[in-house]
Chain A
Amino acid sequence: MPPALQNPFLLWIVLSVALAVLCYFAIRKELRLRATLYGAFLLACVVAAWPPYERDGHPGKIHLGLDLKGGIHLVLQVVTDDALNATIDDAVGTARAQATAKGISFGGARRVDATSLAVEGVEPARVKDMRDILKDFFRAPEWDVREQGDGKFLVKMTDSFVNQVRDRTVKEAIRTLERRVNQLGVAEPVIAQHGAKGDQILVQLPGVTDVEQAKRVISTTAQLALKLVEDNAGTRESLLEKTKGVVPDNMDVVQGQGREAGQPEFYLVRKEAVITGRDLKNARAGVGQNNEPDVQFTLNPGGADKFKRETGRNVGRRLAIILDGSVASAPTIQSQIGAEGQITGRFTAQEADELAKILRAGALPATLKYLQELTVGASLGRDSIRQGVIAAGMGMAFLAVFMLLYYRLSGLNAIIALSANILILLGCMAYFGATLTLPGIAGIILTVGVGVDTNVLVFERIREELRNGKTVKAAINNGFDRVWITILDTHATALIAAAFLFQFGTGPVKGFAVTLVMGLIANIFASYFVSRFIFEWVLGKRQAATLSI
């Protein structure tokens, strides 16, 4: 169900109940007006819900939940610390570059934790200059710069900025996932912020059966970076021999596949990327020179300028193509390259195709962790529907027979009211785009039970009034009037319970709550107002001395 519906939904309940009651008391004497209104409403429900399930190529109006339709349900956690780390890494780069530009010598700049960085060992004479630079680049209210003496500065992100970054990361991740899921061609996907802290994403892909592909497409971070290679070696130790085991400040060590499959190769690359995934305009799967599948990309104008400049300056050097922290390949720059290039690696055609799709959709701003996964096979779902419908049908058939036997013609009234009840329920579900789940079917059965209870309450009261010697008309009026309060109380408490079920968030239980809430409201309308109308309509024409009850 669309997220926008969640709160207005409860408001809608209150309004519609109030409206129904108001309408009734305003026009209680006008039978014909009531007939027209009730008829129009029921007709609207038929139109809204027809056809309820897929038929002759027309899609069904009732949305089926994953448990009935088959598909995938995932809850992912966005590791927002990733984005914070990246923010701090950027800041470290800025601080270092600015200090160097101003000729300030300092011991080092490093990330302390996910939300702060430190600049240490600033030469005493230039501490003031350093302070000015930091204050200038890291301003309130986002940053907090603290001087800790001995030429040491601590720069911290403020809490509000941290929250802002976290929130932005989740939103960005959702947008990226939406683009990726679009490329999978899934109908009616749900991608929404989730969880108490809002750092989770709910993904529902109805009808998708290839779980592994879907999960790969969703969770690949796809952080692409092309970086210049300084050196490479078979082991980390031999790579760092020249620098005595220390990774230089502006360098990174990245692992990747070596020339032989299965052998790792270590690359010492520049920290600063030539281009990143953000510079891509388009990507598509293609076939390279050796007939190997590859991914061909086009850069946007800004990226193309940068790429042209850097490749022109570094002909003959190797350029590492780093995907999610691992070197896919490191080709040598043969000549200046413009707006187009290829990513080669040991891809299969399918892998190349998926990678192209993912690159087109853009990178995720942070890694995603799986918290929950639910997949339902399509035919298992169909089985559930069949059983649920059988159980519901049997329950209703039994109720119909019982009501006819026990209340005779008044039982027929109850059956009409029950049918109206179910019709309204289905119409509302279709209109509001609510999802029917297996527990939802149970909710419908329960609605029917509650509907019968309303009828029984009224009928028993009418019988009692008749026993006390009231006329048919008075008995019906008294019967309905007296149970009104009871019905209001019972439905209100049931709605309270349903409202809390609704808070369970997503999944089958929510489906149950939705049908229950709609059913309870439909019930007041059908089993009370429609049923009363039928009595008044039928008995209004003739002054009946007896009532078939």
Chain B
Amino acid sequence: MEFLKNPNYDFLGKTKILLALSTALILGGVAYISTQGVRYGVEFSGGTQLIARFQNRPEVDRVRSAVDKVTSGATIQTYDDPSKNQVLIRLPHTSANETDLGAGAQSVLQSLKENYGANSVVESSTEIVGPIVGAELRRKAIQLTIFGLLFQLIYIAFRFGGAVWGAAATIAVFHDVLITVGLLALFKYEITLNVIAALLTLVGYSVNDTIVIFDRVRENLKQRRKEPMAKLINDSVNQTLSRTLISSGTTFLTVLGLFLFGGEVLRGFGFTMVVGIIIGTYSTIYIAAPIVVWWDSYRKKQRPATARAAL
């Protein structure tokens, strides 16, 4: 079986329209985040998150009244599949007193036991994060993402012998991360540690995809030095197209499985990967490749004789 035999599409011809689309998506995401904000998971925002499993189907209203007896400002929602009888309760920070971090969760569980009678809590999981840890983690996550990107850029620049390749891959990755975070915000997913892990994986994946095509360009460059860069890159994209589609397609379907069947805990992770793989594949062809082409033609205009050599 073979989907594509000797494909020959003009990818780079549509660059301008798609670039406009990408810019719109990024700006839209930034605008959405700056007005609506992003939701942080409890590990970043701090506070208490309690997942309680009940004997039978819990009534959210009764749970709420029980919780409101001991605390204020709690959010309550059913968690995961309704048949699992689970409720998620989020409490904001109640006190700055960190020796007593678990008091909120404890009193809520107590109140649920007292007020919910026979159908009471069978089991619970709590996650309590003090303000120090939350802030430290936020800082660390941003730091690590930036350093991770930087080192990948250096590696690519080193491997391909030119900063433009590294820069092109990195700009493409920034593009992917920005759009994905925008979509995460739009679909009200919380930024949790798992989502950060998915974002960093997506960074790796997107760079991976870009390298496969760049490698092909490098290989073609050796034999076809005289040809225009645009044609060379377009051919390289076409030559690797079949691999790109199959690899992205299969990975996409496995993470789609994760998104659909992995349960509530992995849902944010799955969503990030599902979206990220589509965008990561797209950005290789329409962001990273055109940057190299433009840089090449820009250099040619500046210094026609040495341009190719410097790439």
Contacts and interface: CB of A to CB of B under 8 A. Distances in A.
A456 B159 CA distance: 23
A398 B99 contact: no
Contacts of A399: 250, 253-254
B78 interface: no
A456 B208 contact: no
**Which bucket holds chain B's interface residue count?**
35 or more
B227 interface: no
Contacts of A195: 136
Interface in A438-472: 438-439, 442, 445-446, 448-450, 452-453, 456-457, 460, 463-464, 467
Contacts of A445: 254-255, 257-258
Contacts of A402: 250
A520 to B, nearest CB: 9
Contacts of B211: 486, 489-490, 493
Contact of A486 (B145, B193, B212): B212
Contact of B261 (A387, A438, A509): A387
B272 to A, nearest CB: 11
A346 interface: no
Nearest to B204: A497
Nearest to B121: A377
Contact of A452 (B141, B156, B250): B250
A371 B239 CA distance: 54
B261 A439 contact: no
A439 B215 contact: no
Contacts of B128: 370, 372-374
Contacts of B19: none
B1 A405 contact: yes
Interface string A366-383: 011111111111111001
Contacts of B1: 405-408
A52 to B, nearest CB: 20
A195 to B, nearest CB: 8
A94 interface: no
B147 interface: yes
Task: Name which of B125, B152, B253 has the most chain A CB atoms within 10 A of its CB.
Answer: B125
A75 to B, nearest CB: 6
Task: Name which of B207, B208, B255 has the most chain A CB atoms within 10 A of its CB.
Answer: B208
Interface string B163-204: 000000000000000000000000000000110111011011
Contacts of B239: 464
A500 B145 CA distance: 8
B251 A449 contact: yes
Nearest to B242: A460
**Which bucket holds chain A's interface residue count?**
35 or more
B151 interface: yes
A398 B253 contact: yes
A283 B250 CA distance: 63
A371 B131 CA distance: 8
A376 B128 CA distance: 12
Task: Name which of B159, B198, B211 has the most chain A CB atoms within 10 A of its CB.
Answer: B211
A344 interface: no
Contacts of B198: 442
Interface in B210-253: 211-212, 215, 219, 239-240, 242-243, 246-247, 250-251, 253
A500 B148 CA distance: 6
A516 interface: yes
Contacts of A377: 53, 123-125
Interface stretch (B21-29, B57-65, B262-270, B287-295): B262-270
22 contacts: A219-B99, A371-B132, A375-B127, A379-B53, A379-B123, A380-B53, A387-B261, A391-B257, A391-B262, A394-B261, A398-B250, A406-B1, A450-B208, A485-B215, A489-B215, A490-B207, A490-B212, A493-B156, A497-B207, A500-B148, A504-B144, A509-B194
For the complex of A and B, the 8 pairs showing the least CB-CB separation, nearest first, are A395-B254, A377-B123, A497-B204, A387-B263, A449-B251, A500-B148, A370-B101, A373-B128
Given A373-B101, A387-B261, 11 more contacts: A374-B128, A387-B263, A394-B257, A398-B250, A439-B194, A439-B266, A442-B269, A446-B201, A496-B204, A504-B193, A509-B194
